[in-house]
């Protein structure tokens, strides 16, 4: 017979040679199954126990094994975490041994999904865990961990509750047309609505700024061939900052490098690939770069002489003249740098980050497209609220709540009625 | 007297008469058994029908050829369209009715109904064999057999009336409670809860001074409740409005401990929208005055129903506080206000056809299911009656989806969510309010009624004509398109964007009205008012209606995913124990219904969806 809840396991750490590797096992059978392949027979919940894993013929590995009891675990189910030695052969042997038991490999994200179903996490928190696991920079980590502590859920609930109060007042006007409702109710509704959409506007603005924390900033480097673009990239890749990723361009012939500068992610797109078109007219090369320049947050233009006017179409830009070590002539409004000596690089980085980083962000922010879409749709409906058409106003507010609630929960009319009856004396 | 029927309906209240008539209309030989035949059609609380949400229900009952709207049209002494200045979707027709005229109308309609016999008697027990009901046993031990039974006993199950510290077992004032039947339901292990409701004192009209009170006049335009009626022929009279004041509040506050609700004697849950005057004063201390509607009980009645001061204070305190109110200074109370506590069955015991899950062919309708209001009761009555009848001949069920009517919303809310207080309809309960309007109840529901066979041939013919007229009207206004230039020639100015627009597009401009458009499309003059009305509403809500229609498509996708009755929720996996327990008890028929049960999370709905699909594939393979 099939167990009511399947027990699953997965390697929680990256596969490959390392000091230790961690297995996670979750589900009703997890404790019994692990006991059946352990030298220890008794485990104290939440305590790491030195334990030999056995496969029937002998010891597989010496491990630290921790038992978690439902509901106090990540998934909310009975769980076991095994820290073993991180060699491929140990990992393989443990995997094989577990597979022989009534237990299967977890699907991607299945542990988090179970946590979600067992109410250990909200939808937002589950999304945040993914952000946290994928955080590359300091600021991404900070945002993710603050969202994980429930800030976003609180914010969503706060807005949603205000919207529900707003809808309750509107519904009271409709459904209790012949009751003596307070005279100032229309004025109250307008004030409430304004207060809510101002708050949403504020959050959208704040979140748009912090979007760059999530996605990072894109900086395109353009300029004629041989102006020092690649040397600059090589220099900062090697010296100035840590490399996050290095992705060779596939379709655009552009190369990008992501760097963590003062906690933020900066992706530099090097249009060095344009050199291929060297034998064509240079203008074509510039036009190719324009495409990338158009999409980026900032552009660094490497000058050969003083051909600034060629780049008049480019919006946000910093001019740079490289090779300061060989030519010490400075031009006003142009950063002089040298990728050989490092001259001027630090001030340039400072200019870049000061141009991109505006004001510091305070308060929880939304970093996902899904969240932003919902906020924007909700905002649009509230901003155009017209109480002269109260039935349509109610419909718009109702839909605006559905968007906000869609971020983390579902809509329930009973809540609206609860508010109406607690706020107004209604009934004959 | 016959002792063999297809369907027996127990109770002659608003649920009972609709159930009996709809069962008979659907073709079953039906018996209506009631304590007292002369109480059939009695309005035991306020003398009014309809209102917001409730008016929608009455129209829907009528669309299924029920009797409530017809009786209202024959007894309406003050018609008002609530929210008449607002959009069509939130307008609610309401009638003050003459109690006697209403009761006479109901009695006439019931007696004219073919296939229906009235039996006076008290039902003491149900005959249940192998978890299936087979008939009833009367007080004199006489057995009457039937294939289905509809129970509509209202507040009569363990009814207990309270006035101050006095208590009395009763179904309503002057009527016995059904105590044995209540015990039987307990023995059958139905989950029973307790609710309370109240009613205000009745006042002697000639002892009221109306001179200085605000008069509320009837509407000039009377709209009949029934789609088959063209007019209301009853004289229209006014209601009057007065208010409580500081003195009233003082007396009540001082004597609060004498009200059983506050002395702790009554603990059952009352409706928040029907609070007693004690509640109003206690919970909303900042309000210095409360509105009271003085409603006439009839054209010739010498009684007034003071809507807004239901109470369970002792009679002498009632007299004291009532006399502090303007116009009521020397009023005489003919019947004191009282609170009544009664048993109700957890409606989660029922399926969407209102059949009980425990006992086959047994149906419950009305206040017994935890609702309040005549309209809510009648709505369940008509559905239970149709289904009780269908059950005797086929496996068909008649269920109105939430997306088609307020009756559907009412029943779906009850059977999936249950209720903790007397359930009343509001327009805000419907997610598709703009589509589910009082004006189009027939267009939405009469075709369903015709299909299932509960609509008489006369109404069917009349409906088919109307529906044809509307179709033709819409074809006309959709097919003719006009350019801004063509419109300008007839004096209608719009933006010269070169776009050709039809009549509905044009009507959505606030400055363009139907009379103006008759100049460019003279055929419009040939359309009847009800057709024009539908066209204008469609134009007014244009984008919103399309949006809701899309919502309904999404809703229907989930409704079409049936969950087999035999589903073992323990095998679904990924469901918490609490959720398994809830789902096993309620047995939602569709994925949609499951998702509406409180506490069922979106993630659980997805797990359920996967399980259903997997099992379907297994069976198909």
Q: How many domains does chain B have?
A: 4
Nearest CA in chain B to A120: B576
| Domain CATH code at residue A49 | 3.30.1360.120
- CB proximity list for A306: less than 8 A, separation 6 or greater: A331, A334
Q: Quick check: B178 and B196 in contact, CB under 8 A? A: no
Put simply, whether A117 touches B (Cβ < 8 Å) is: yes
Residue B42 has pLDDT above 90, yes or no: yes
Instruction: Quickly state the pLDDT bin for B10 (edges 50, 70, 90).
Output: very high
Residue B367 resides in a domain:
yes
Is the same domain home to B8 and B139? yes
Are both A163 and A228 inside the same structural domain?
no
Q: How far is B605 from chain A, CA to nearest CA, in Å?
A: 10
Same-domain status, A196 and A265: no
Q: What angle do CA B18, B24, B28 make, to 5 degrees?
A: 135
Domain that holds residue A344: 214-356
Q: Residues B446, B328: one domain?
A: no
Mean pLDDT of the region B104-124: 96
Give how far B617 is from chain A: nearest CA, Å: 18
For the cut 90, the answer to whether the pLDDT of residue A1 exceeds it is no
B310: CATH: 2.40.30.260
* A255 pLDDT higher than 70: no
Residue predicted with more confidence, A103 or B615: A103
Distance CA A264, CA A214 (A): 9
Question: Does pLDDT of A426 surpass 70?
Answer: no
CATH of the domain at B604: 1.10.150.570
Q: What is the pLDDT of residue B219?
A: 96
Residue in B291, B429, B598 nearest the CB of A180: B291
Cβ pairs A/B, distance under 8 A? 104
Q: Is the pLDDT of residue A13 over 50?
A: yes
Q: B512 is in which domain, residue-wise?
A: 471-548
Upstream peptide bond of A216 is cis (omega within 30 degrees of 0): no
Residue A68 has, within 13 A of its CA and on its CB side, a CA count of 17
Q: Report d(CA B346, CA B353) in Å as an integer.
A: 15
Let me know whether A218 and A207 are in one domain. no
CB proximity under 8 Å: B 31-70 to A: 46, 52-53
B273 touches chain A (CB under 8 A): yes
Chain B residues touching A392 at Cβ < 8 A: 87, 541, 544
3-state secondary structure of B46: coil
A281 and chain B: CB distance < 8 Å anywhere?
no
Q: How many domains are contained in chain A?
A: 3
Mean pLDDT (whole number) for B80-95: 96
Q: Search chain A and give the residue with CA nearest B573.
A: A5
Q: Is A405 on the interface with B (CB under 8 A)?
A: no
* CB burial of residue A261 (10 Å; 0-12, 13-18, 19+): buried
Q: B574 and A119: CB-CB below 8 Å?
A: no
Segment B241-260 shows an average pLDDT of 94
Same domain assignment for residues B503 and B540: yes
CA A231 to chain B, closest CA, distance in angstroms equals 52
- Cβ <8 Å between B573 and A118: no
Classify residue A123: in a domain, yes or no.
no
**pLDDT (average), residues A268-293:** 60
| pLDDT in the model for residue A427 | 60
**Residue A112 pLDDT level (bands cut at 50, 70, 90):** confident
Question: Looking at the partner chain, which of A2, A174, A389 has a beta carbon nearest the beta carbon of B83?
Answer: A174
User: Residue A328: what pLDDT?
Assistant: 82
Task: Please answer yes or no on whether A391 and B82 come within 8 Å at the CB atom.
Answer: no
Q: In Å, what is the CA distance from A170 to each residue of A167, A185, A214, B433, B495? A: 5, 9, 38, 14, 34
**In terms of domains, do B384 and B439 share one?**
yes
Pair B8, B142 in one domain:
yes
Instruction: With a cut of 90, say whether residue B604 has pLDDT above it.
Output: no
For residue A4, give the nearest of B90, B273, B571 by CB distance: B571
Alpha-carbon separation of residue A227 from A298, A320, A335, A400 (angstroms): 18, 9, 13, 53
Does position A275 have pLDDT exceeding 50, yes or no?
A: no
User: Residue B300's closest CA among B447, B537, B100, B2?
Assistant: B100
Does any domain span residue A180?
Answer: yes
Residues on chain B touching A2 (C-beta within 8 angstroms): 571
Flag the least confident range among A10-14, A151-155, A406-410, B462-466.
A406-410
DSSP assignment of B223-240? --SSTT-S---S----EE
Q: What is the CATH number of the domain that holds B61?
A: 3.50.50.60
Give me the mean pLDDT over the A328-336 stretch. 86
**Residue A281 pLDDT exceeds 60:** no
Look at residue A381 in the predicted model and tell me its pLDDT: 96
CA nearest neighbour of B448 among B27, B64, B21, B26: B64
B426 closest CB neighbour out of A175, A390, A428: A175
Domain identity same for B59 and B96: yes
Model confidence over B429-455: pLDDT tens digits? 999 999 999 999 999 999 999 999 999
Assess whether A290 and A183 both reside in one domain.
Answer: no
The answer to whether the CB atoms of B598 and A412 lie below 8 A apart is yes
> In this predicted structure, what is the pLDDT of residue A241?
43
Higher-confidence position of A77 and B28: B28
Query: Residue A417 and residue B428: Cβ atoms within 8 Å?
Result: yes
Who wins on pLDDT, B103 or A256? B103
b/e code B391-404 from CB counts within 10 Å (16+ = b): bbeeeebbbbbbbb
Q: What pLDDT is stored for residue A243 in this prediction?
A: 43
Chain B residue numbers with beta carbons less than 8 Å from the beta carbon of A421 are 272-273
Cβ <8 Å between A174 and B86: yes
Task: Say if residue A273's pLDDT is above 50.
Answer: no
Does residue B269 belong to any structural domain of this protein?
A: yes
Whether residues B52 and A176 touch (CB distance < 8 A) is answered with yes
Provide φ and ψ at B597, rounded to 5°.
-70, 135
State the pLDDT confidence band at A83, using cuts at 50, 70 and 90. very high
User: Is residue A3 very low, low, confident or very high in pLDDT (cuts 50, 70, 90)?
Assistant: very low
Let me know whether B212 and B263 are in one domain. Answer: yes
pLDDT range class, residue B60, cuts 50, 70, 90 = very high
Residue B75 domain-assigned? yes
The tally of CA atoms less than 13 A away on the side-chain side of residue B118 is: 23
Q: Are residues B274 and B415 in the same domain?
A: no
Q: Can you count the helices (H) and strands (E) in chain B?
A: 20, 20
Query: How far apart are the CA of B528 and the nearest CA of chain A, in angstroms?
Result: 26
Interface check B498 vs A, CB under 8 A: no
What pLDDT, on the 0 to 100 scale, is given for residue A369? 78
The pLDDT assigned to A419 comes to: 67
Task: Give the span between the Cα atoms of B43 and B96, in whole angstroms.
Answer: 12
A53 interfacial to chain B (CB closer than 8 Å): no
Contact B365, B354 (CB under 8 A): yes
The CATH number of whichever domain residue B489 belongs to comes to 1.10.10
Mutate to test the interface with B, among A120, A166, A175, A380 (most CBs of B within 10 A): A175
Same domain, B335 and B346: no
Q: Are A259 and A236 in contact (CB under 8 A)?
A: yes
Residues 183-242, chain B, touching A (beta carbon < 8 A):
none
CB contact under 8 A, A395 and B607: no
User: Residue B566: inside a domain, yes or no?
Assistant: yes
Tokens of B308: 């807004």
Residue A272: inside a domain, yes or no? yes
Q: Are A229 and A384 in contact (CB under 8 A)?
A: no
Give A120-133 pLDDT, tens digit per residue: 877 778 777 877 88
The reply to whether A243 and A203 lie within a common domain is: no
| Strand order, beta sheet including B192-199 | B166-169, B160-163, B338-345, B192-199
The minimum CA-CA distance between A80 and chain B, rounded to whole Å, is 18
Helices B457-479, B441-452: axis angle to 10 degrees equals 130
Q: Which of B112, B132, B328, B57 is nearest to B211 (CA)?
A: B328
User: Do A412 and B275 lie within an 8 Å CB cutoff?
Assistant: no
B95 touches chain A (CB under 8 A): no
Task: Tell me the average pLDDT of chain B.
Answer: 92
Return the minimum-mean-pLDDT range out of A26-40, A389-403, B25-39, B561-575. B561-575
Same domain, B93 and B20: yes
User: Which residues in A lie closer than 8 A to residue B431 (C-beta atoms)?
Assistant: 398, 413
Query: The domain that contains A284 carries what CATH number?
Result: 3.40.50.300
Average pLDDT of every residue of chain A: 82
Are A171 and A236 contained in the same domain?
Answer: no
Where a domain ends, among A328, A356, A384? A356
Residue B457 located in a structural domain: no
Instruction: State which of A314, A333, A356 marks the end of a domain.
Output: A356
- A94-108 pLDDT per residue, tens: 999 999 988 998 887
CB atoms B576 and A118 under 8 Å: yes
Of B146-150, B551-555, B597-601, least confident by mean pLDDT is: B597-601
Stretch 145-174 of chain A: residues touching chain B, C-beta under 8 Å: 171, 174
Query: How far apart are alpha carbons A424 and A426 in whole angstroms?
Result: 6
Domain-located, residue A132? no
Give pLDDT, residue B470. 95
* pLDDT tens per residue, range B281-322: 988 888 999 999 999 999 999 999 999 999 999 999 999 999
Share of chain A above pLDDT 90, in %: 36
Which residues in chain A have their CB less than 8 angstroms from residue B434's CB?
391, 395
Please check whether residue B86 touches A, CB under 8 A: yes
Residues B13 and B120 in one domain: yes
- Percentage of chain B lying above the pLDDT 70 cut: 98
Interface test with A, best of B573, B576, B599 (most A CBs within 10 A): B573
Is 70 exceeded by the pLDDT of residue A428?
Answer: no
Q: Which residue has the higher pLDDT, B392 or A406?
A: B392
A249 pLDDT exceeds 60?
Answer: no
Q: Tell me the angle at which helices A390-408 and A369-383 cross, rounded to the nearest 10 degrees.
A: 160
Query: In this model, does residue A53 exceed pLDDT 80?
Result: yes
């Amino acid at each position: 017979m099939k167990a009511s809840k399947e027990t699953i396991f997965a390697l929680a750490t990256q596969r490959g040679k390392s000091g230790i590797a961690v297995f996670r096992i979750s589900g009703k059978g997890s404790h019994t199954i692990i006991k059946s392949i352990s030298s220890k027979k008794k485990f104290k919940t939440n305590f790491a126990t030195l334990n030999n894993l056995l496969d029937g013929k002998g010891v597989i590995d010496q491990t630290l094994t921790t038992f978690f009891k439902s509901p106090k675990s990540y998934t909310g189910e009975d769980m076991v975490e095994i820290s073993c030695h991180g060699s491929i052969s140990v990992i393989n042997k443990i995997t094989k041994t577990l597979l022989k038991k009534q237990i299967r490999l977890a699907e991607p994200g299945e542990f988090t999904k179970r946590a979600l179903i067992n109410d250990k996490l909200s939808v937002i928190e589950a999304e945040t865990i993914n952000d946290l696991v994928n955080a590359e920079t300091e600021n991404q980590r900070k945002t993710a961990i603050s969202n994980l502590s429930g800030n976003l859920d609180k914010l969503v609930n706060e807005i949603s509750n205000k919207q529900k109060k707003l809808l309750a007042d509107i519904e009271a006007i409709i459904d209790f047309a012949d009751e003596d409702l307070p005279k100032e109710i229309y004025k109250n509704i307008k004030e409430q609505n304004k207060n809510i959409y101002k708050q949403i506007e504020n959050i959208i603005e704040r979140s748009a700024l912090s979007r760059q924390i999530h996605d990072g900033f894109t900086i395109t480097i353009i300029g004629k061939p041989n102006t020092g673009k690649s040397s600059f990239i090589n220099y900062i890749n090697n010296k100035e900052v840590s490399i996050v990723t290095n992705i060779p361009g596939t379709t655009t012939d552009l190369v990008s490098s992501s760097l963590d500068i003062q906690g933020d992610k900066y992706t530099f797109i090097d249009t060095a690939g344009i050199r291929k078109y060297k034998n064509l007219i240079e203008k074509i090369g510039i036009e190719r770069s324009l495409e990338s320049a158009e999409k980026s947050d900032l552009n660094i233009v490497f000058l050969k002489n003083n051909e600034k006017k060629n780049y008049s179409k480019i919006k946000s830009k910093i001019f740079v003249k490289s090779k300061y070590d060989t030519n010490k002539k400075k031009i006003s409004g142009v950063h002089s740098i040298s990728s050989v000596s490092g001259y001027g690089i630090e001030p340039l980085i400072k200019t870049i980050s000061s141009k991109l980083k505006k004001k510091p962000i305070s308060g929880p922010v939304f970093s996902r497209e899904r969240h932003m879409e919902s906020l924007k749709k909700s905002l649009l409906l509230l901003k155009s609220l017209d109480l002269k058409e109260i039935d349509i106003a109610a419909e718009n507010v109702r839909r605006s709540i559905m968007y906000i609630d869609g971020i983390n929960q579902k809509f329930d009319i009973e809540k609206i009625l609860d508010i109406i009856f607690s706020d107004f004396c209604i009934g004959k | 007297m016959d002792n063999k029927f297809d369907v027996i309906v127990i109770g002659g209240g608003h649920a009972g008469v609709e159930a009996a008539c709809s069962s008979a209309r659907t073709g079953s030989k039906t018996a209506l058994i009631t304590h007292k035949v002369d109480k059939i059609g009695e309005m035991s609380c306020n003398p009014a029908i309809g209102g917001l949400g409730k008016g929608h229900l009455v129209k829907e009952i009528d669309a299924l050829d029920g009797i409530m709207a017809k009786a209202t049209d024959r007894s309406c002494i003050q018609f008002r369209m609530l929210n008449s200045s607002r959009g069509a979707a939130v307008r609610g027709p309401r009638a003050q009715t003459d109690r006697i005229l209403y009761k006479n109308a109901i009695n006439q309609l019931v007696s004219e109904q073919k296939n229906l016999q009235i039996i006076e008697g008290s039902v003491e027990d149900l005959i249940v064999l192998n978890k299936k009901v087979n008939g009833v046993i009367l007080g004199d031990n006489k057995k009457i057999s039937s294939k289905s039974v509809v129970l509509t006993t209202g507040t009569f199950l363990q009814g207990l009336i309270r006035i101050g510290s006095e208590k009395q077992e009763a179904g309503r004032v002057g009527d016995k409670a059904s105590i044995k039947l209540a015990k039987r339901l307990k023995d059958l292990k139905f989950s029973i809860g307790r609710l309370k409701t109240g009613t205000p004192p009745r006042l002697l009209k000639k002892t009221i001074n109306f001179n200085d009170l605000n008069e509320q006049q009837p509407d000039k335009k009377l709209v009949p409740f029934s789609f088959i009626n063209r007019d209301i022929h009853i004289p229209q009279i006014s209601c009057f409005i007065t208010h409580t004041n500081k003195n009233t509040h003082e007396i009540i506050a001082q004597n609060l401990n004498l009200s059983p609700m506050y002395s702790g004697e009554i603990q059952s849950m009352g409706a928040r929208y029907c609070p007693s005057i004690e509640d109003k004063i206690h919970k909303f201390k900042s309000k210095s005055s409360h509105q009271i509607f003085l409603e006439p009980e009839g054209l010739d009645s010498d009684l007034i129903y003071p809507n807004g001061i239901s109470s369970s204070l002792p009679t002498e305190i009632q007299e004291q506080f009532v006399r502090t109110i303007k116009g009521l200074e020397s009023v005489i109370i003919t019947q004191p206000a009282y609170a009544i506590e009664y048993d109700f069955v957890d409606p989660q015991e029922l399926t969407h056809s209102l059949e009980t899950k425990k006992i086959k062919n047994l149906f419950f309708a009305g206040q017994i299911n935890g609702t309040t209001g005549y309209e809510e009761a009648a709505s369940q009555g008509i559905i239970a009656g149709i289904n009780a009848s269908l059950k005797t001949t086929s496996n068909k069920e008649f269920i109105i989806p939430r997306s088609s009517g307020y009756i559907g919303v009412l029943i779906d809310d009850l059977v999936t969510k249950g209720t903790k207080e007397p359930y009343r309809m509001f327009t805000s309960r419907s997610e598709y309010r703009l589509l589910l309007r009082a004006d189009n109840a027939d267009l939405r529901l009469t075709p369903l009624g015709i299909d299932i066979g509960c609509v008489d041939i006369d109404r069917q013919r009349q409906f088919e004509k109307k529906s044809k007229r509307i179709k033709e009207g819409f074809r006309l206004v959709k097919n003719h398109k006009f350019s801004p230039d063509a419109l300008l020639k007839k004096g209608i100015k719009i933006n010269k964007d070169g776009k050709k627009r039809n009549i509905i597009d044009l009507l959505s401009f606030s400055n363009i009205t139907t009379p103006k458009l008759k100049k460019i499309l003279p055929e419009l003059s040939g359309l009847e008012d009800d057709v024009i009305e539908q066209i204008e509403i469609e134009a007014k809500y244009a984008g919103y209606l399309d949006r809701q229609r899309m919502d309904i498509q999404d809703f229907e996708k989930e409704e079409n995913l049936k969950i087999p009755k035999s589903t073992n929720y323990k095998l679904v996996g990924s469901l918490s124990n609490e959720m398994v327990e809830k789902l096993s008890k309620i047995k939602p028929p569709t994925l949609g219904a499951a998702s509406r049960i409180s506490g069922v999370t979106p993630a659980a709905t997805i797990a359920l969806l996967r399980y259903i699909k997997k099992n379907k594939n297994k069976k198909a393979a």
